[in-house]
Chains A and B, each alone.
Chain A
């Protein structure tokens, strides 16, 4: 199985924004919203006064968006991509607020959550648009498990750096080479309260429901062995016989 990864040499980036527009056009993302970005950080040491950091969905190994999705519309694929099934997404936005990278947004036409899918939906099997248009090839994409791929070569020869938000346990797969600025991101937002509460509640339903079913089964079996109705009848019969006996005794006594 392939393990797809995007690797970015952010030191090469000059923020020409071609990747942003190429992505918007290829994936029909309305201008003003975007699946990818270039972060600008003021920097005295940079020759142009800024450090640039291109980015997009990090396709995390432990994605908080996937944990936040109540409908299973997003999942971590076996080939490394975090995928979205738009037909199952109800647009509740939980994943959007869960992503510490703000990689997700709601698409105003589909109404669903939207993010980088390595251009698979629009152009399956092709190089992602952002990779294709970059004039200095600072974005590299491919199968990290294939030693002949550019990605594997870059990862083997250079230091891998990940940008992780301060309060996040996300394990991003999008990798920067050698160094990148900023090295960490500010704290991300958390999962929404209602959807977050559903997890323990689901556990509760499992347990209580299970207990009830077990109790009912027990009762059912018990009633099969000996029906309470029969017991009732026996009691009634006993009572009757007791009464009869009493009567008889009374008559006898009389």
Chain B
């Protein structure tokens, strides 16, 4: 077994997961009428639980906690985890990454047999510590997180500001950006959840999100480049 996730990373992942799901769900319930992607019933459901103002307060409270904890994490684990992670997820190999995404999709939807029948080799290009899909989602998540956090903070502090002449414009654009980021994540999150937890062969990956460890054969199969690197380092 090889350690894939540090304890702090595991904690942050699940902390993030809980916050995001809550913030996304409550956030949608805070939107009005035609700006509401789910439907009236969603607003009624959440406001029924938390109350009109309660929901807003809860959203703000959880959002604030999320921002604070993340800020602390980023500061404390900057060198050890945050920067390496960022370096890792921003390393793209355009051609093979696109190929990986296409083939992984076909593999899931059609299955390898039918893919072969189409005359495509189902074999995936070898991936490193993160595969292409993970990297793409990670980048989007980082951008969206920054967007959500920044606009969230702006809204928290500018809301009700009557001294600054442009505060209304700032607020309107903030809520717009906030919404866009949340919208993107609303689309990507289910994909991530399925791919990481439900898709076949991801059992060890899901387990590693709790234990931190993955079996070597899993690495060999899913992250061959990392496997090579580990081998080279003599950690296997």
Contacts and interface: CB of A to CB of B under 8 A. Distances in A.
- Check A-B contact in the complex, CB < 8 A: yes
B180 interface: yes
Contacts of A107: 162
Contacts of B36: 72, 202
A87 B52 CA distance: 8
Contact of A108 (B162, B171, B175): B162
Interface in A108-134: 108, 110-112
Given A194-B172, A202-B37, A208 B107 contact: no
A231 B112 contact: yes
A87 B56 contact: yes
B71 interface: no
B179 A198 contact: yes
The size class of the interface chain A forms with chain B is 35 or more
A75 to B, nearest CB: 8
A70 interface: yes
B155 interface: yes
B175 A194 contact: yes
A94 B172 contact: yes
A91 B200 contact: no
A216 B161 contact: no
A193 B161 CA distance: 20
Contacts of B159: 90-92, 111
Secondary structure of the B side of the interface?
Answer: helix
A253 interface: no
A91 B37 contact: no
B32 A232 contact: no
Given A92-B172, A216-B190, A111 B37 contact: no
B52 A202 contact: no
Given A198-B179, A201-B180, A206 B37 contact: yes
A88 interface: yes
Given A92-B171, A93-B171, A219 B109 contact: yes
Given A92-B168, A194-B176, A201-B180, A206 B31 contact: no
A226 interface: yes
Sorted from nearest, which 10 A-B pairs have the closest CB atoms? A111-B160, A72-B32, A93-B168, A194-B176, A87-B53, A229-B200, A92-B171, A205-B183, A205-B37, A227-B200
Interface of A: 66-67, 69-73, 85, 87-88, 90-94, 96-97, 106-108, 110-112, 192-195, 197-199, 201-206, 208-209, 212-213, 215-216, 218-220, 222-223, 226-232, 234-235
Interface of B: 30-38, 43, 52-53, 56, 107-109, 111-113, 116, 122, 155, 159-162, 167-169, 171-173, 175-176, 179-180, 183, 186-187, 190-191, 194, 198-201
